A = this chain, B = another copy of it.
């Protein structure tokens, strides 16, 4: 199995990506195809010896997060995202992992690798840490102005993914909404509720944004606009509060000493809310496996992401989506 791995997207640089693949290879069999600046990759490979079972593809153009996705993938043909998507579309690799711009990765998936026939839209999915584990939220921002059928597709694709890759027997699917009762919400969520009720999935009803982190749902279905708002509200609040707590701890000698006494336990607890534990997110609805890793992933995050990619392929998630999702 060949896995294309973008070495340029991560905040920690190419060596961290290569180290992740190296650690993954100790446990699983695959051929990494590193895409990025060849001299940087070769430098990294000196440190981590893959033997002969490794490939390098040069791609040097950097896509920034604020670039218009559809435009930039047409312009920057020599970026790892475009090169990786082309390798995947051409069958040169079996899957593609990147921690670059989510929008550009999705655009490359849609325009180069193409959407699964019968699936109306592809979604950006994201794993959120919860009090009990993690939840997959989709769509986190790929589609504005969604139709009800899109969200039905998201629910079915998410369900298949959770069952096959995460090993959850009957994933609990909830609809992000402003209230718990049936009949709550806007026109879209009211219509989606009806569709989800009829679908062959474990639909548990509406979930309010307040309960996203509760862990009561395995999959949270939403339109891309509301999903993006929810995701960023969670991120922003967590960041603000944790930085306030940190500031308090560094305030004076007394608080610094106090912080020292709780530091380890606090780290241990907050680790649970760490992206490295929740893993990479699949771009569901694309014809071949594309995974987005968090930009600040370290080698452990990449290692776990590679395991997800392998399982995704082994379990034929896409064949299952083609069978049930259309």
Name A's B-contacting residues (CB within 8 A).
66, 131, 141, 144-145, 176, 178, 181, 185-187, 189, 208-214, 224-226, 228-242, 244-245, 247-249, 251-252, 254-255, 257-262, 265-266, 269-270, 273
Counting chain B CB atoms within 10 Å of each CB, which of A141, A248, A262 scores highest?
A: A262
B225 touches A233 (CB 8 A): no
Given known A244-B269, A247-B269, A251-B265, contact A209–B233 (CB-CB < 8 A): yes
Which of B181, B209, B225, B255 is within 8 Å of A185, CB to CB? B225
What is the CA–CA distance of A57 and B235 in the complex, to the nearest angstrom? 46
By Cβ-Cβ distance, the 4 closest A-B pairs, closest first, are A258-B261, A210-B236, A233-B233, A209-B232
What separation, in Å, do the CA atoms of A229 and B224 have in the docked complex?
Answer: 13
Pairwise interchain contact A229-B232, C-beta atoms closer than 8 A: no
Partner of A211, one of B145, B189, B231, B236: B236
Which chain B residue shows the least CB distance to A211? B236
Interface of A is mostly: helix
Chain B residues in 8 Å Cβ range of A237 = 213, 233-234, 237-238, 241
Cross-chain contact B244 with A185 (CB below 8 angstroms): no
Min CB–CB distance A236 → chain B (angstroms): 4
Query: Could you give 9 example pairs across A and B, Cβ below 8 Å?
Result: A144-B178, A145-B186, A178-B224, A210-B233, A210-B239, A213-B240, A237-B237, A237-B241, A254-B262
A118 CA to B121 CA, complexed, in Å = 40
CB closest residue in chain B, given A131 = B240
Residues of B within 8 A of A239 (CB): 210
* Structural contact, B257 and A261, CB atoms closer than 8 A: yes
- In the assembled complex, the Cα of A145 lies from the Cα of B186 at a distance in Å of 6
Interchain CB contact under 8 A, A244 and B226: no
Q: A258-B261, A259-B262, A262-B248 are in contact. Are A238 and B241 (CB under 8 A)?
A: yes
Closest beta carbon of chain B to A126's beta carbon, Å: 13
Residues of B contacting A260 in the complex (Cβ-Cβ under 8 angstroms) = 258
In the bound assembly, the distance between CA atoms of A229 and B189 in angstroms comes to: 13
B266 touches A248 (CB 8 A): yes
Report the Cα distance A240→B209, complex, angstroms. 12
Are the CB atoms of A269 and B242 closer together than 8 Å? no
17 more CB-based (< 8 A) A-B contacts, given A144-B187, A178-B224, A254-B261: A66-B181, A131-B240, A145-B186, A178-B225, A178-B229, A189-B225, A211-B236, A213-B236, A213-B237, A233-B234, A244-B269, A245-B245, A248-B269, A255-B261, A255-B265, A258-B259, A262-B262
Which residues in B have their C-beta under 8 angstroms from that of A187?
A: 144-145
CB of A254 to closest CB in B, whole Å? 5
Q: In the complex, how many angstroms separate the beta carbon of A277 from the nearest chain B beta carbon?
A: 14
Select which of B214, B226, B234, B255 is within 8 A of A225 by beta carbon: B226
B262 lies within 8 A of A258 (CB): yes
